[in-house]
Amino acid sequence: MGEFSNGLCGCFNNCTLCLITYVAPCYTAGKNAEAVGDSCIMVAVLYWLVNPAGVYFAAKTRQKIREQKGIDGSFGGDCLVHLFCPLCALVQDAQEIQPAAQAESMARE
């Protein structure tokens, strides 16, 4: 099993993503959910309006990312990370997804 390619505090490895996430975390949460096959709109709205539900769905997204990438961890740990460091966790999740999403986007062009 592996680890995330960027640390939890590696937010500034991608300053644009970091800025977008700190200004509109619901956008990043929705895009992360969309990348693993969930509803972008539902997760984004729940993250924005009902934070406890947003934490749950963001943790479920993180769990799917971990499963797809073979990263160690647990759903309980994912919940705690999104509860106590939500913005850093969203950026870390997006950074983990990003290379695959970029490759898929390029393949469509």
- pLDDT tens digits, 62-91: 999 999 999 999 999 999 999 999 999 999
Q: Are 96 and 69 in contact (CB under 8 A)?
A: yes
What pTM was estimated for this model as a whole? 0.84
Distance CA 50, CA 91 (A): 20
**Structural domain that includes position 52:** 14-108
Q: What is the pLDDT of residue 42?
A: 87
Quick one: residue 2, left, alpha or beta (phi over 0 = left, psi -120 to 50 = alpha)?
beta
Structure token digits, residue 104: 């898929």
Question: What is the total count of domains within the chain?
Answer: 1
Give the mean pLDDT of the chain.
86
Is the pLDDT reported for residue 102 higher than 90? no
Using pLDDT thresholds of 50, 70 and 90, give the confidence band for residue 1.
low
- The residues pairing with 71 across neighbouring beta strands, listed in sequence order, are 2
Per the domain annotation, does 99 fall within a domain? yes
